[in-house]
Structure 1
Amino acid sequence: MELTPFHYTLYQVCKLSRSLYGLKQASRQWNAKLTTALLNVGFKQSNADPSLFTRGKDGDFFALLVYVDDILVASGRMALIQELKDLLNKAFKIKDLGALGYFLDIEASSSKDGMNICQRKYALDILNDAGFLDCKPIRTPMVPGSLLSPKDGTVLSDPSSYRRLIGRLLYLTATRPDITYVVHHLSQFVSAPTDKHMIAAHRVLRYIKGSPGQGLFYLAEASLNLKAFSDSDWASCAETRKSVTGYCIFIGASLVSWRSKKQATVSKSSSEAEYRALATTACELQWITSLLRDMHVSSANPAVVYCDNKSAIAIAENHVFHERTKHIDIDCHIIRERIT
C-alpha cells in the first residue's frame, strides 16, 4: 500500500481569562471591573455622571473621576488618597503620576487663589500641524455677521484635513468657550467642506495664535450659588431657519458649563426660541444640581436664570398662556416646573 504524506500544523488554543486591548468589549469589561472594585470599598457611583465616584462626607470626603484607565482623585486629606492608591495598586498595579498637572491634554496649575486650566500645548500642536505657528494673530474668531452655507465655495478634493482640524478644535472648546460657537458652526460642513469653510477654520487658528494659553480660572474662595445666562438667536440658520440656543452657567464667579447649539425644530417666534433655550438651560441646571448633590455641595439659594426676552419669561411664569404655547413640546415646560 502506497502512503500519501500529509502536512499538519499544531495550534495551541488559549482560553482568555480577561479582556485584552483591542477587543470590542475590552473597555466595557475594564470599566465593570473597576466599578465593582470601587463599590466594594465603599464608593458610591454618581447617578448624574457614572464616571464620578464619591465616599465619605465632610472632612473624610473624597471624589474619584474615571476616564477609561486615567483616574483623578481629590480630597482634603492626603492620608485618604494614599489609602485609596494602595487599594488600587494592590488590585490593578497603578502608576502614580503625582499632583494634577497635565490630564488628557488639559494643563492645570493650582495656587492659593484657585486653579487655572488651559490647553496651551494642545493649541500649539494644532497650530504647528496646520502650519500656523508663525501666522499673524487676529482679534476675532470669525468675521462679524458672516453666515456660511453648504453651497459656499468649491468642494475640497481631500476633506480629511478639514475634518481632522475641526475634530481637534472641538476638543479645544473644553477650555475655550470663546470659540465654541464658530467651531460648532464649522462642524456642520464636515461632510462636504469647501475652500471658504477652510478659510473660516484658518481664521480660528489665527485667533488662537493670539492667546494659545487662554483658559478658565476657578476661585478657591467663592460662593456656591448657581446662576445661568440664557439666550437664543432666532432663525439664524439661513438654510433651515432653525434658531441657535446659547447658555453659560456659573458657580459663583466660575464658569462651569456653556453651550451653543442649533435647536431641533423651527420656532415660530423669537419668544418660542427663547423659551426653548430657557428649557435647555433648566435641564442643564438640574443636572449640575444633581452632580453637586452627589459631591455633598448644597446652596442655600435657588439657581438664578437671566433671560432678556419678556415674553419667554411671562410664558415660563404664567400658566394662563396655554393658548399661545399649545404647539410647543411638553418637554419645554420643564422650566415652569423648575420655577415652581
Structure 2
Amino acid sequence: MGFFEVVPIPRNVTVIPTRFVYTHKADDLKGAVYKARCVVQGFRQKEGIHFNRYRVSSPVVELSSIRTLTAIATENDFPIHHLDIKSAYLNAPLPKGEEIYVKPPKGHEIMGKCWLLKKSVYGMKQAGYEWNKYLAMRLDALGFSENDLDESVFKRESKFGKLIVALYVDDLFLVAENDEVLSEFKEELEGMFDLKYFGPVSEYLGIEFKRTKEGYVMSQHKYLKELLENFKEHNIRKHRYPVKVDYEGYGSNNNPKEDVFYETPVDTSPKLKASMKTKYESGVGSINWAANNTRPDLAFAAHTLASKASNPTENDFQRLLFCLGYIEESMAQVLEYSRLRSQAPRGEFIVETFSDASYAPGDDVKSVSGMVIYVNRNPVKWLSKKQNNVTRSTAAAELVALSVAEDRTVHSAELMRGLGFKVAEMKLYEDNQAVIACCENKSLSHTRKLVDVRMKLIRQRLTQKYYTIEYVNSAMNIADMFTKALPAAMFRSLTERLLMQEPVRGETGKARISSILTHRRKR
C-alpha cells in the first residue's frame, strides 16, 4: 500500500516510536484468528505538530440507525449484506504538509533512517478521521449521498435500484433492493480496496442476525453466554425480572400507590475493593452493550447499575448478580422484526413512540425519562436516562421526557425520509393527561422556563399536524418499564408488549382539557 517512505532521520524533529501488536480472536467471523499489526504510539503525538485537534474524531453509525435500516429491510423484504475493508486505515492518505516521522518497529530498524508516513496508520490520533473522510469521499464519487441525520449512512439509486450503506469504521452494513445493485457496488469497491465479503448478514458488531419469512431476528446469545461465564463462580440464581424492587411502593394489584413518596433505603454496605470494582464495571458495561443493541428489557437495569459504577458497594454487586440471574432466565429472548405487524400501506412507515417519566425517585431528586420508538411496530430506539435538571412537578418531569421522545421520534422519521421512504404518520403516546392538555392548549401554560421552550416546540408541531399525541393508560404504557423497577408480573407483561405484541392503542384518543382537574399524581 506504500504507507511509508524510508528517509534519513531529520534534525530537530520528534520521531515517534512504533510497535507490533499481536491479537488472537477465537471463532471470529472474519476468520482472522491471529493478527500482527504495526501501530504508532499515538500518545506521543503533540497537538499542533503531529495532529490537528479538530481532525481526530470520526463518526460511526448509530445503533438505532442499524435497527431502523433493519426495519426498512423488513418492510420491503430487502436483503442485508455485510462486508469488511481490510487494513482500512492504510488506504487513507495523510493531508499534504502533514509530515509524521516514525521509528520502525523492533527488528526493522535501519541505521540513521526512519519512516515518513504517507498514509494513516493504526494508533495515530487522526487515523480514524482521515479514513472516514477518505471513504466518504470515495462513496460520494460513486454517486452516494450522505444522510443529514446520521453522517455514517449513505444512499444511492442506480439503474438497478436502491442501496443503503451504513459505516462502522471498516464494517459495512448494506441494505440492497436486489442482488444486482449489490453486485454493482461490490465490483466498484473491489476496484478501490481489498474486501472481505461475508454474504447475507449473520453477525454485525457482535449482533447475531437471522432472516425469516416475515423479517429479521436479532440476538446476542453468544455474547451474553460469555458474560455469564465470566461470573460463574458467583453461583448466580435465576430471576424473572432484572431489578429488585427496594421499596414497598406497590399496592395489592401490583400498581404503584399514588401521591406517596418512598425514600430509597440508604446503602450502608462496604465499598467494593479494587479488583471487584473492576469486575463490576466490566459486568455493567457488558449489560449496557446488550441493552443498547437487542435487549431493551435491560435498559433500566443498565441505567441503575451504571449510576453506581463510580463507587459501587457490595449491595450493588449483588444487584448486578440479580440482573445476571434475569439474563440467564431470559436467554432465549430475541429482538424480532416482522412486516406482518405493520398497519401502514406497503412500503410506507408509521412511527409510534411511548413516553414516560418517574418523578424524583432518587436522593438527587432528578427524574428518570423513558421511551421506546416503533417503526411499523418494530422497536428501533429506546431510552432510560436520568434528566439533567430537577423539575418541580410530575407534569414537568413528564413534559421533559415527552420532549426528548418527540425529538428522537422526529429524528427517526427524518432519517427514513432522507433515505427516500415515506413516513405516513407519527404518533406519541403519553399517560399524563395534564401534559397532553398543556401541549394542546396555550391557556394552560404554567410551566417554568426549563420546560416552556420544549412545550412551545411541541405545540407548534401539533398545530402543523406534524404528529399527534394520544393518551394511553398508565398500566398499558410500555415506557413505564424504562423509568422504574417493577414487580415480576408487571415487568413481564410490559416486556411481552414491548417485544412481541403490537404497541397499545391510546384508549381515549386525545385527552380532554377537563381531565386536568381529575388527574392523579404518579410516583
Structures share fold, TM-score greater than 0.5 = yes
Larger deviation: 120-129 or 77-86?
77-86
Question: Match of 2:75?
Answer: none
Could you list the runs of 5+ residues in structure 2 that have no partner in the other structure?
1-109, 248-262, 464-523
CA distance in 2, matches of 1:48, 1:152: 46
Q: Which moved more, 1:90-99 or 1:151-160?
A: 151-160
Q: Which amino acid aligns with 1:227?
A: E
The 3 A distance-change label for structure 1 pair 296 and 180 is same
Aligned-residue CA RMSD (Å): 2.0
AA partner of residue 156 (structure 1) = L
Match of 1:202 in 2: 321
- Asked whether 1:271 is paired with 2:271, we answer no
- The one-letter amino acid of 1:105's match is G
**Can you list the C-alpha shifts for 1:271-308, whole angstroms capped at 9, x where unaligned?**
1111111111110011001111122121333x111111
Q: Report the identity percentage.
A: 28
Cα distance, 1:321 vs structure 2? 2.6
Q: CA deviation at 1:114?
A: 1.2
Give the letter aligned to residue 186 of structure 1. Answer: L
Assess, with a 3 A threshold, how the Cα gap between structure 1 residues 19 and 141 changes in structure 2: closer, same or farther: same
Q: Which residue of 2 aligns with 1:187?
A: 306
Distance 1:116 1:162 in 2: 30
Say which SS state the counterpart of residue 451 (structure 2) adopts.
coil
Q: How does 1:115-130 map to 2 (within 5 A)?
A: 115-130=216-231
Which letter does structure 2 place at the counterpart of 1:91?
M
2:351 aligned with 1:232: no
What does residue 310 of structure 1 align with? 433
Secondary structure of the equivalent of 2:192?
Answer: helix
Q: Distance between the aligned counterparts of 1:314 and 1:114, measured in 2?
A: 38
Distance in 2, matches of 1:312 and 1:211, equals: 35
Query: What amino acid sits opposite 1:166 in the alignment?
Result: V
Deviates more, 1:219-228 or 1:191-200: 219-228
Shift in CA distance, 66/152, structure 1 to aligned 2, threshold 3 Å: farther
Contact 2:352 2:375 in 1 (8 A): yes
C-alpha separation in 1, matches of 2:371 and 2:337: 19
The answer for the alignment partner of 1:162 in structure 2 is 280
TM-score under structure 1 normalisation?
0.92
Structure 1 residues 87 and 236 mapped into 2: Cα distance closer, same or farther (>3 Å)?
same
Give the one of 334, 350, 354 matched to 1:215.
Answer: 334
Instruction: Note the C-alpha offset of 1:337.
Output: 2.3
229 and 90 in structure 1: CA distance in 2 versus 1, 3 angstrom threshold:
same
Give matches, 1:34-49, under 5 Å: 34-49=135-150
1-side partners of 2:188 and 2:368: how far apart?
47
Once residues 48 and 231 of structure 1 are traced to their aligned partners in structure 2, the CA distance between those partners, rounded to angstroms, is: 25
SS at 1:71's partner residue?
A: strand
- Give 1:11 shift: 2.1
Tell me which amino acid in the other structure corresponds to 1:217. Answer: E
Q: Which residues of 2 match residues 93-108 of structure 1 at below 5 A? A: 93-108=194-209
Alpha-carbon distance in 2 for matches of 1:211, 1:30: 40
1:81 aligns with 2:182: yes
Q: How does 1:127-166 map to 2 (within 5 A)?
A: 127-131=228-232, 135-146=236-247, 151-158=267-274, 159-166=277-284
Aligned partner of 1:14 in structure 2 is 115
Aligned residues: 330
Task: List alignment gaps of at least 5 residues for structure 1.
Answer: 1-8
Contact 1:46 1:294 in 2 (8 A): yes
Call closer, same or farther: CA 1:127–1:50 in 2, change over 3 Å: same
Measure how far apart 1:62 and its partner are: 1.1
